[in-house]
Structure 1
Amino acid sequence: MTNPPLLTPADVTLLMVDQQAGLAFGVGSIDRQMLVNNVIALARTAKTFQLPVVVSTSASKVYSGPLMPSIRSVLGDVPSLERRNMNAWEDQAVRDEIEKTGRRKLLVSGLLTEACVSFPVLSALADGYEVSVVADTCGGITPESHALALRRMEAAGATMTSWLQVLLELQRDWTRKETYDGARAIVEGHAGGYGIGLAYARDMIHPV
């Protein structure tokens, strides 16, 4: 199987599933603070590159809580589509929003990897979508069950990626001025040592 072509801002939609505190409490596959950092970076990336974003939540009134406020502050007025089914792909409102974009490539981020991430990914693949799972913005109950869910999705045809790879793939050329400032700010704010290095280069290294 050949690898899909590189993502461009014009051809991809971001689906964010159940990024809610009540579910984040159960995450054991990644440090929760790092998980939130990564999800915020991905949300900022989507806004910088003007990607359509579809947000779905579940049990927000009785267990999981709303979309985490730090993520909501980035996404602004993007609506949260509440559903009952674990599989967002089986929720008509979610499907309608994705289909409205007219795009056949999906980025998927969510909680928990074992169910509410893997189920819609497997279903979207079966319906002919190209799906990239932003694995470091997903969390599972244990490292082992998270890894097994990623393996299952990859075996079915999904591509595994990270938020930083998504950002760099969409930017690709640092001379693209329209997204340069936004992309660089995200890297500096969320990419650890790489971001520190970019900030250092900006502030300390000057042409002779």
Structure 2
Amino acid sequence: TELCLAMVAIQAAGEGYEVYVVTDASGGISPEAHEMAVQRMIQAGVTPITWMVFSGELQRDWARTATTPALGENLIAHGGNVGTSLLWEAQLLAAKPAQNASVGV
């Protein structure tokens, strides 16, 4: 985080780009190094987000049906309580959840 991500993100923000970093998809040499790099990027105008927020922004809404199965599978497999809630809602709606999907973190 403190080198590969922060240096590029800070440079891009300095050049006027709107920069978002997926903070839970990177890591530093220690938790403190990671957190200090994230704080430094925030001070430079970079917006931190998480992988789940990023995937949701790519999807935008559930009406984009071409990509909802893949997103659903990803949320079920890696989204913790969000995946569990998605399976529960699918059961309530008597819908079929993604094939081969299992709840897990």
Secondary structure in structure 2 of the residue aligned to 1:178: coil
Quote how far apart the aligned CAs of 1:172 are: 2.6
Quote how far apart the aligned CAs of 1:127 are: 2.1
2:46 matches 1:158? yes
Unmatched segments (≥5 aa) in structure 1:
1-112
AA of the residue aligned to 2:42: E
Deviation string 1:150-199 (CA, Å, 9 cap, x unpaired) is 01101101000001001112223212212211211111111112112212
Q: Hey, which of these two has a bigger chunk of helix by percent?
A: 2
Q: 1:167 aligns with which of 47, 50, 55?
A: 55
Residue in 1 that maps onto 2:78: 190
Residue in 2 that maps onto 1:6: none
Rounded to whole Å, the distance in 1 between the matches of 2:93 and 2:61 is 21
Rounded to whole Å, the distance in 1 between the matches of 2:17 and 2:63 is 31
Residue in 1 that maps onto 2:26: 138
Q: TM-score, normalised by structure 1?
A: 0.42
Q: Hey, which of these two has a bigger chunk of strand by percent?
A: 1
* Correspondence 1:55-204 to 2 at 5 A: 113-202=1-90, 204=91
Secondary structure in structure 2 of the residue aligned to 1:133: strand
Structure number with greater CO (CA < 8 Å, separation at least 6) is: 1
Rounded to whole Å, the distance in 2 between the matches of 1:206 and 1:129 is 42
Residue in 1 that maps onto 2:101: none
Rounded to whole Å, the distance in 2 between the matches of 1:180 and 1:156 is 34
Rounded to whole Å, the distance in 2 between the matches of 1:154 and 1:137 is 16
Q: TM-score, normalised by structure 2?
A: 0.79
Rounded to whole Å, the distance in 2 between the matches of 1:118 and 1:136 is 14
Secondary structure in structure 2 of the residue aligned to 1:140: coil
Percent sequence identity is 38
